[in-house]
Amino acid sequence: MLFKMLKKDIAQKKTITATLFIFITLSSLLVANGTHMMMELTHSMNSLFTKSNAPHFVQMHTGELDENAIDNFASRKAQVKDHQLVQMVNIDGLNLTLGDNPTPETSGIMDHYFVKQNHNFDYLLNLKNEIIQVSRGEIAVPVYFMQQYNLNIGDKIRIDDSPFDMDFTIVDFVRDVQMNPSIIHSKRFVVNDDDLDMLNKNVGETEYMVEFQLTDVSKLSEFRNAYQAADLPQQGPNIDYPLFKTLHALTDGVVAAVILFVSVLLTLIAMLCIRFIMLTTLEEDYREIGIMKAIGIGQKDIKKMYLAKYIVLAALASGTGFLISLFLNDLFTANIQLYLGTAEKSVLHYMVPFIAVLVTFLTVLLYCMFILRRFNKLTAVEALHSGYMGEEANVSRKSLSLSKSKYFSAPVFLGWQDVFGRFKMYSLLFFVFFVCSFMIIVPVNFLNTVQSPDFIKYMGIEQSDIRIDLQQSDNTMEQFNHMLAHIQNDEDIEQFSPLITSQFKVINSDGAEENITVESGDFSIFPLDYLEGGPPLREQEIALSYLNGQELEKSAGDRLHLIINGREQEMIVSGIYQDVTNGGRTAKALIPFNPDTVLWYEVSVDVKSPIRTGEKLDEYAQLFHPAKVTDLQSYLAETFGNTIEQLRLLTLLTIAIAVGVALLITSLFLKMVMAKDDTQIAIMKSIGFSFKDIRAQYVTKTLLVLGIGITVGMIVANTIGQSVVSFLLSLMGAPEISFVIDPVQAYILCPLILMMVVTIATLMGTVSIKKSSIAELDAE
């Protein structure tokens, strides 16, 4: 009997049932894929770190070093499990040509390090996560460049530094546990030991990485302090195991989090649809429910009859979503598989997404049971006497009078009157339109923000037309001074600001010394936006990046102590700024740079005539070689290119889902409302309202609700949505993001897309009005 009732109900309400099925399926699909992405990211990252035998602490160094001093330090430290010295040859982009690219890597910001395979740990892996081995003349290229230039096995890599030149054949691609992510501006190429010796003698600059593995990673902070306190190589940044993991997880982790968020929104929409459908169904069956109660059918049995449909529907939809997700997993995890590889599948890979889908199913089921609580207040006498549930809102005739309306036609006015008179009923449509606009606007605004040159301010970098970077080497100071002299005498230059980054010792909250990376220069020429306070204006002031402020437990106005020229000096924190580069841990001050620990030099330049920026880029790239000369747009593209591509795909996906949701819900809602209004429609037709007049009422209703939903969606997207994005980026060091809004996209194109879809759905959904008439009602 129950099966027959269920079959009959589905047959009578095919569109409604199909729409609900699609929503629950989509929600289950996304929650399954989102959780699977999280699982794949975690397991693949752990597998990469295990197979590569990742280091726990790495100190980069430029210049001479004493290997015996490193060995002696390691032998004295019980927590050191193993250590090694990695030699790298930094090849300038001007001397490097990748594949069929017709020009060398002159404008790139990446450092190209040529290395040999390590013997103890920190293995460089191929696309099968196996340790790479290459013969003479062969090379393994980082995955980043494979993706950027569409490189293939057999392509050539050429190094040309006249009179020396050397060709390599690509035989593999590198997964690097340290330098995989695009946000890291260094990449390692693997060559044969003999080839590396040849390169070291003829081309490039030699740099080093001093690497350690510890017996207990929890002692990492203690070990770092000990290393930094010792007289050991430190002319370069240091990075550690937790930072490696954070940088690897950021891009795909954010994408997975957004997918899960969208799935939650779809579940909420599905639940609201279920509420509307169930209440409408109960209202239609109110007298029948009263009769069933009167003849002795129990309340629990009646609930089961109504609940059965939604249990079956939710179970089938959830199961379908989960099964489809199994076929789409590779699509969602393609970037993870490329950069991290694929870990061996365990039961958890399937159990966690299944449990997530089960939670979605149980949430829908519990919500249905919650709605059916109104049976508890219903008696057979009340049902038989009243015949309705009392969900209809009373329209206030006093406040809305057609006779007093001077600006609207009758159909438009009646549409407005119905929306405000029955707004409780239209709240479902409002919420759906609000969520759809939110789903579209937040990704669009976030994508525009990351692509905008203004995003540079979240990288702790001054906004200028041109940025020039120069790595520390033997004669860099001489090159830097020559560069400044030329720029100062260049009449095309509006203003410029030279900055030198070096390392100092700071006294941390535990009273121990640790390294801090400090930029020295004048920060009033190209000012940053500060979360607290402002730039350092006096020599005893220092500005900290957000993450440095968190770790040192300092805010604007607090004091800290730097070791400058061997003496402890008190500094006042002038401000806190956002920075997602160098692990988010930097500082800015007016103090003289430390010549013994200089890391790099940079110059920010503004050109008088912006149209000449391209010319200046080419001119300075040739004049100031080997400095890296870029505009900020190129700098952003290279740093976040992969992230931007992921966000672009995610934005298109959410727009497609939002448009589909708006189309389906509008059609579903109109079908149900018009069924409720059938008598009213027939009466209007009998007193002279044409088909176009009545259709205009429903177009007015849906567009009015859409307008309110879009308005609220925009407000929430630019407040709560902005806060959600800020929370995600706070993990990188940028806790206060301000959306860069393209008014044409956000305020014209996106609303216009929704308006077109909703209008089309309304026009298609109101075709059935032609069939409604008084004669048919009398016949019924």
Instruction: Show Cβ contacts of residue 410 under 8 Å, excluding neighbours closer than 6 positions.
Output: 402, 689, 693
| 479 and 613 together in one domain | yes
pLDDT given at position 686: 76
Using an 8 Å Cβ cutoff, are 383 and 289 in contact? Answer: yes
How far is it, in rounded angstroms, from Cα 765 to Cα 768? 7
The string of pLDDT tens digits covering residues 558-577 is 999 999 888 899 999 999 99
Q: Are strands 513-521 and 567-577 parallel, antiparallel or unpaired?
A: unpaired
Number of C-beta neighbours around residue 263 at 10 A: 25
pLDDT surpassing 70 at residue 450: yes
At 583, the pLDDT band (50, 70, 90 cuts) reads low
At 406, the pLDDT band (50, 70, 90 cuts) reads low
Query: Residue 587 in 3-state DSSP?
Result: strand
Q: Average model confidence (pLDDT) for the chain?
A: 83
**Runs of H (alpha helix) within 188-240:** 193-202, 220-229
pLDDT given at position 72: 93
Whether 287 maps to a domain, the answer reads no
User: Which among 320, 321, 292, 317 is positioned nearest to 306, based on CA atoms?
Assistant: 292
Whether 201 maps to a domain, the answer reads yes
Long-range contacts of 70-77 (CB under 8 A, 24+ apart): 70/210, 70/232, 70/233, 73/227, 73/230, 73/232, 74/212, 77/223, 77/226
pLDDT given at position 193: 93
The string of pLDDT tens digits covering residues 210-222 is 999 999 998 898 8
Using an 8 Å Cβ cutoff, are 702 and 430 in contact? Answer: no
Using an 8 Å Cβ cutoff, are 401 and 393 in contact? Answer: no
Using an 8 Å Cβ cutoff, are 208 and 605 in contact? Answer: no
The winner for highest mean pLDDT among 5-9, 459-463, 722-726 is 722-726
Percent of the chain residues past pLDDT 90, beyond the cut: 29
Q: The domain containing residue 116 runs over which residues?
A: 83-215
Least confident interval from 85-94, 170-179, 269-278, 289-298: 289-298
Whether 517 maps to a domain, the answer reads yes
Residue type, 136: R
| 620 and 758 together in one domain | no
Domain count for the chain, please give it. 3
pLDDT given at position 127: 94
DSSP string, 621-687: HHHTTTSEEE-HHHHHHHHHHHHHHHHHHHHHHHHHHHHHHHHHHHHHHHHHHHHHTHHHHHHHHHT
The string of pLDDT tens digits covering residues 495-551 is 999 999 988 888 887 787 888 889 999 998 988 888 899 999 998 999 999 888 888
Burial class (CB in 10 A: 0-12, 13-18, 19+), 320: middle
Whether 482 maps to a domain, the answer reads yes
Residue 698 — φ and ψ, nearest 5°?
-75, -35
| 657 and 770 together in one domain | yes
At 712, the pLDDT band (50, 70, 90 cuts) reads very high
How far is it, in rounded angstroms, from Cα 337 to Cα 451? 25
pLDDT given at position 390: 46
Give residue 149's Cα distance to chain centre: 24
CA angle, 748 then 749 then 754, to 5°: 100
| 94 and 193 together in one domain | yes
Using an 8 Å Cβ cutoff, are 92 and 625 in contact? Answer: yes
Whether 70 maps to a domain, the answer reads no
pLDDT average, residue stretch 457-469: 83
| 586 and 710 together in one domain | no
| 613 and 645 together in one domain | no
How far is it, in rounded angstroms, from Cα 351 to Cα 343? 16
Radius of gyration of the chain (CA): 33
pLDDT given at position 386: 46
At 394, the pLDDT band (50, 70, 90 cuts) reads very low
At 378, the pLDDT band (50, 70, 90 cuts) reads low
Domain end marker among 195, 215, 235:
215
Whether 359 maps to a domain, the answer reads no
| 617 and 498 together in one domain | yes
Using an 8 Å Cβ cutoff, are 648 and 444 in contact? Answer: no
| 556 and 653 together in one domain | no
Instruction: Show Cβ contacts of residue 478 under 8 Å, excluding neighbours closer than 6 positions.
Output: none
Domain end marker among 166, 197, 215:
215
Q: Describe the chain by its helix, strand, coil percentages, rounded to 5.
A: 55, 20, 25
**pTM exceeds 0.85 for this model:** no
The string of pLDDT tens digits covering residues 213-247 is 999 998 898 898 888 888 888 887 888 898 888 88
Domain end marker among 184, 215, 246:
215
| 597 and 641 together in one domain | no
The string of pLDDT tens digits covering residues 303-354 is 777 788 888 888 999 999 999 999 998 888 888 899 998 888 888 888 999 9
pLDDT given at position 733: 65
CA angle, 320 then 311 then 258, to 5°: 50
Using an 8 Å Cβ cutoff, are 589 and 571 in contact? Answer: yes
| 658 and 541 together in one domain | no
| 571 and 685 together in one domain | no
pLDDT surpassing 70 at residue 398: no
Using an 8 Å Cβ cutoff, are 678 and 780 in contact? Answer: no
Positions of E strands within 288-351 = none
How far is it, in rounded angstroms, from Cα 322 to Cα 635? 40
At 732, the pLDDT band (50, 70, 90 cuts) reads low
User: Which among 593, 555, 560, 559 is positioned nearest to 577, based on CA atoms?
Assistant: 555
| 665 and 736 together in one domain | yes
Whether 281 maps to a domain, the answer reads no
Whether 573 maps to a domain, the answer reads yes
